[in-house]
């Protein structure tokens, strides 16, 4: 079973009792965190499944994927295109807008959305910020870009790559699935962003600490 199949089956917690050889490891914390006591890494992070690559938000903030966005949090992670010709992304983002409203005060407090562009060279923080005006993300929902190699590392490590190279190279062939989970509880699953907002919101009910 390859990594993509592993995640798509929602079996990530099984990793916790399995020996894994990983190529991506958590790097040192950013300078602002250097003098703070570090929280222990989750076992998924230790095994390289939550790489700590640098990213930039649509608010032009420099962040680390694991240290700043995932560690100790409940998150939903999806990949998207601003220039989406298939119509999947506008529907997914519109659904997420409804979900953030349904979650109310939980957004930015104990639930966070991480939407990562598949075209980091085109989708600068400025372009993402303009795109964000359509969906009006509240605090707790970040649109993210970064170096192409770092975005690619995340895409593959999180299980969003297709086993068929031809299909994988076609950006318009991207999935509407999102990964959601709680780093502290080490519970992870997948949900379709084309399903109803009620269904998407319900995935967070079992991710409380």
Question: Residue range 15-20: average pLDDT?
Answer: 33
Helical axes 88-103 vs 125-135, angle rounded to 10°: 70
Q: What's residue 85's pLDDT?
A: 62
Which domains, and CATH codes, for the chain? 3-15+40-202 (3.40.30.10)
Q: What is the DSSP string of 82-141?
A: SS-SSSHHHHHHHHHHHHHHHHGGGBTTTBEEEEEES-TTT--HHHHHHHHHHH-PPTTE
More confident residue, 9 or 57: 57
* Residue 12, pLDDT above cutoff 50: no
Q: What's residue 66's pLDDT?
A: 98
More confident residue, 108 or 22: 108
CA distance 72 to 184: 5
Q: Which long-range contacts (CB under 8 A, 24 or more apart) does 17-21 make?
A: 20/47, 20/48, 20/49
Query: Per-residue pLDDT tens for 135-161?
Result: 999 999 999 999 999 999 999 999 887
Beta-sheet pairing, 62-64 with 54-57 = antiparallel
* Residue 25, pLDDT above cutoff 50: no
Question: Residue range 37-43: average pLDDT?
Answer: 74
Q: What percent of the chain is predicted at pLDDT more than 70? A: 74
What does R_g of the chain's alpha carbons equal in angstroms? 16
Q: Which residue has the tokens 């649509």?
A: 58
More confident residue, 55 or 205: 55
């Amino acid at each position: 079973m390859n990594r993509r199949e592993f995640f798509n089956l929602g079996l990530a917690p099984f990793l916790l009792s399995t020996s894994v050889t990983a190529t991506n490891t958590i790097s040192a914390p950013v300078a602002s965190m250097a003098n703070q006591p570090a929280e222990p890494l989750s076992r998924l992070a230790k095994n390289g499944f939550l790489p700590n690559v640098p990213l930039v938000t649509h608010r032009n903030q420099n962040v680390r994927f694991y240290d700043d966005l995932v560690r100790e949090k409940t998150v939903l992670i999806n990949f998207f295109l601003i220039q989406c010709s298939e119509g999947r992304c506008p529907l997914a983002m519109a659904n997420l807008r409804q979900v953030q409203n349904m979650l109310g005060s939980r957004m930015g407090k104990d639930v966070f959305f991480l939407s990562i562009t598949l075209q980091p060279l085109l989708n600068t923080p400025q372009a993402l910020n303009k795109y964000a005006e359509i969906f009006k993300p509240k605090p707790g929902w970040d649109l993210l870009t970064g170096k192409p190699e770092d975005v690619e590392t995340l895409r593959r490590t999180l299980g969003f790559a297709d086993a068929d190279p031809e299909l994988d190279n076609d950006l318009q062939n991207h999935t509407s699935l999102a990964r959601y989970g709680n780093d502290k509880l080490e519970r992870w699953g997948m949900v379709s962003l084309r399903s109803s907002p009620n269904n998407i919101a319900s995935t967070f009910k079992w991710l409380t600490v």
